[in-house]
Structure 1
């Protein structure tokens, strides 16, 4: 059902094994080299708002797919959001507690699904489940990722459930921007009928500049990597003649550093280019190719 969604952990298949007189149903899942957001949070204590925006947008895209297919996840939390691939794409995992919308509407009295700190008020009082339980849990998750603390940090056990049922969430924290606070206000509405949906939240201003910020950060990193060539002693020159490439180690790099670099040779694909530089700062713009050599002559 979800195999085409890039924001849900892919299941490649399943098998059954027999261990200790018990049949075990095994799922073959996509490998998450980055672990979970819970692991990330444990290592970093809290995440930057920019990183949280990126992960939140991916989770909402996954939830939109899930909800539009008539499924409620019922256990959204940092531990069930995995980071997959080199770019650490956030993907939703663990559908062990999930139900269909029809099953959620007919939930038996006394059956509670989910993890306590991420439960909704309507879950605590045992009313019907809707897809909005996932939105509340996402709000709790976003708060925790940015601030490094649980929304109900000062409570345990039944006290957590009492606070969820009777208290209004408080998320005034110095680490939260105004946009983040407003986003949480739309997620953490006690009345599920007025809580925003995944599709509505995807258009919230909190997420609108996430791609722009990502591109800006990548551009800055490229420029920084390029300029680093100018601030470190040149230890080796690489040059190319025909189809052959040669490298020369410099025993004394000082002669090259005594003069400004006037020419730079770089490569894009199989093509080599030479640029005469009138200003050393021009090197900053040559970030798309692989530098082969520098020339002071």
Structure 2
């Protein structure tokens, strides 16, 4: 089935031109455009989901793994998505060749990469590989990532001299939802380890073997397994011992050869344990042999020397595509930037109105509010329409406002504000008085009983002439006027407080209310004391029935 034509845009990314194509899909140079002319170049890997569904799943898995790795020497993943059955992966764009292209360009120019430059590229690759191996989840458990495709084609060398590891499309993690079944071989055959060629279980040491093959080829300038047949290559990897690098490059320091050989042990247990350990061994070998490791500036110079023309052509093609597409689009006004909005704000569409003046009120208008709507003629001379505005009352003095500008002279428009302030203060004072009166009216019952007793004491008509002897203790009267000259058995009616109603006891001993003769009641004794008069009443509610 013929491949369909690739679209010009996927999501918010505009495809410019293809820059690579491999078994894991095609890679395009793309760009995204934002506000105020913001533009960023990205690398967009795309896979046709309808034709290669397995590769599309691998693309999503690559995004999930690589997005967690944040390291200077690992290509960052920015976005992943699917549109029109095309899965795409947006990655950081590294303007520079792959390590394979750089080596090929150096050989085409009749030379090889300087060993110092090769060591710097190799150390950068090992740093990114170790970061992927050490990746852990939020709880600190290692994910067990194995790249499984460490090769010169998956190492990008930027124009700034920084190298980065990329393409985690077939990387395997312990938590990956679509792990490769045992016995299935994925990766480039020339860089596979023996256990990977046999389809056995893998760990990070399989990537160490691949890194050792890359190092061997960089320092010698030759292929470790030059066989063109894949089956022959796999048989050689599984059954043969790799030769030493000094057999091909006799000027190579033996310490450096020994460091590379530590990564090419057929037995994984005897192999170098980690990418960091291999990098440390290579640095120590270079230091002991006097081989100076190149800087990133040296790598940038080598990229410019061998691949500078190719990179300039790629940039020129990208600019030409962008200009041609802009010419085909309809002309659109340039969007205002934030600086323009601050210095030159957009014009406001306003309706000019004449200045409206309110004449002073001649007298207080007592008509209803609906009839007090005043009609103001604005711009009569210019033929402007009549403006009708209702107001409860006219101001006491002329007041002007400008409807177009929204400026109102409040001092003239509300000249009676002090009068309303006085009314509000009076309402507050009246409220306080009402609340105080209510509090005083809800006083305690003891004060009410005392006031009622004093009133009864002052009434001579309510006072009885005699009090029973049995109730003398309960209804005794003490006068405060000093020694009295009244005869025994008599009382002063005006000085005796009313007592409880007369009562007498029945045959059973209980006391019962009833009218008796005043003559049968004993007189109330008078006590000659100087203390103020006190009245003790017999509470009828406390009597026993």
TM-score under structure 1 length normalisation: 0.65
Mapped to 2, the partners of 1:138 and 1:102 lie a distance apart of: 24
Partner-residue secondary structure (3-state), 2:280: coil
1:76 to 150, 157, 161: 150
CA drift at 1:213: 4.2
Q: Deviations over 1:107-165 (max 9, x none)?
A: 52320121000011111222101111111111111122222221011452211111000
1:194 to 263, 270, 279: 270
1:184 match: 260
Contact 1:53/1:206 (CA < 8 Å) preserved in 2?
no
1:37 match: 99
CA drift at 1:17: 2.2
CA drift at 1:166: 0.5
1:66 match: 132
Distance 1:24 1:208, change over 3 A: farther
Task: Verify: 1:149 aligned to 2:229, yes or no.
Answer: no
Distance 1:141 1:212, change over 3 A: closer
Partner-residue secondary structure (3-state), 1:214: coil
Task: Verify: 1:53 aligned to 2:114, yes or no.
Answer: no
Q: Deviations over 1:43-80 (max 9, x none)?
A: 01232211111011111111111111121100000000
Contact 2:152/2:214 (CA < 8 Å) preserved in 1?
yes
Structure with more relative contact order (C-alpha pairs < 8 Å, separation 6 or more): 1
CA drift at 1:10: 1.1
Q: Which of the two has higher C-alpha Rg?
A: 2
1:96 match: 169
1:236 match: none
| Structure 1 unmatched ranges of 5 or more | 222-297
1:133 to 206, 223, 232: 206
Contact 1:189/1:195 (CA < 8 Å) preserved in 2?
yes
| Structure 2 unmatched ranges of 5 or more | 1-66, 136-143, 302-545
2:191 match: 118
1:203 match: 280
2:231 match: 158
Mapped to 1, the partners of 2:193 and 2:293 lie a distance apart of: 32
Contact 2:117/2:293 (CA < 8 Å) preserved in 1?
no
Distance 1:156 1:206, change over 3 A: farther
Distance 1:97 1:132, change over 3 A: same
Contact 2:116/2:291 (CA < 8 Å) preserved in 1?
no
Q: Deviations over 1:173-222 (max 9, x none)?
A: 2253323311211110101122111121122123558996436x97xx9x
Superposition misfits of 4+ residues, deviation over 4 angstroms = 207-213
Partner-residue secondary structure (3-state), 2:294: helix
CA drift at 1:14: 2.1
Mapped to 2, the partners of 1:193 and 1:120 lie a distance apart of: 13
TM-score under structure 2 length normalisation: 0.36
Q: Deviations over 1:242-296 (max 9, x none)?
A: xxxxxxxxxxxxxxxxxxxxxxxxxxxxxxxxxxxxxxxxxxxxxxxxxxxxxxx
Contact 2:182/2:199 (CA < 8 Å) preserved in 1?
yes
How many residues matched?
212
